[in-house]
Amino acid sequence: MACGNMSRLLSGRLKMAVSGRLAMRMLSGCGWVRASDPAVLSRLRDEAVVRPGFLSQAEEDTLTRELEPQLRRRRYEYDHWDAFCGSTIAGLSLLSPSVMKLVHTQEPEQWLELLLEPGSLYILRGSARYDFSHEILRDEESFFGERRVPRGRRISVICRSLPEGMGSGRPEKPPSAS
């Protein structure tokens, strides 16, 4: 696929997945999501979603090749801030498996873990987005239940919705010079 074509294809698939129009079954509550208790799992069932295999290996390879030149020109981001975005965050996890842990900000005994295999899509919205902190576990802490999940180099492609009232995100026409 020509450079840029893969990004356009994935952009459309991501929009459909986040809006729920993509005909894929939600996998919360099975092998990719764990919680501190069944009530947390039930409460976040539609707000913290993992869709393994969202990208095929060929799509992941193509996207990684497209991203590499851009990533080499930038410094590594150790931290990130989710302040200027709307209620939904979607991420594509590339290259290495990892475990994302969400911890309730007011009740830290309530947590959720997402197993992110390479090529998987995760979506955080609502309470999972606003009431829980989220982090990717460091290699030495990277366990999903009893299963060790060794971490290697990882790329995460993040898509964020605009805050309410910010419009479509498309550039507007400049005002007329009348």
Average pLDDT for the chain:
78
The pTM is what?
0.73
d(CA 99, CA 142): 6
State the pLDDT confidence band at 80, using cuts at 50, 70 and 90: low
pLDDT at 147 over 70: yes
More confident residue, 27 or 15: 15
State the pLDDT confidence band at 73, using cuts at 50, 70 and 90: confident
d(CA 40, CA 149): 23
106: which 2 tokens? 């007011």
What percent of the chain has a predicted confidence (pLDDT) above 70? 69
Task: Report the pLDDT value the prediction gives residue 159, as an integer from 0 to 100.
Answer: 80
Task: Report the pLDDT value the prediction gives residue 77, as an integer from 0 to 100.
Answer: 63
- Maximum mean pLDDT: which of 12-21, 63-72, 141-150: 141-150
pLDDT at 5 over 70: no
Task: Report the pLDDT value the prediction gives residue 122, as an integer from 0 to 100.
Answer: 93
pLDDT at 49 over 70: yes
More confident residue, 5 or 121: 121
Q: Which of 24-33, 37-46, 161-170 has the lowest mean pLDDT?
A: 24-33
d(CA 80, CA 162): 16
Task: Report the pLDDT value the prediction gives residue 38, as an integer from 0 to 100.
Answer: 93
Q: Which among 97, 127, 124, 101 is positioned nearest to 114, based on CA atoms? A: 101
d(CA 41, CA 107): 15
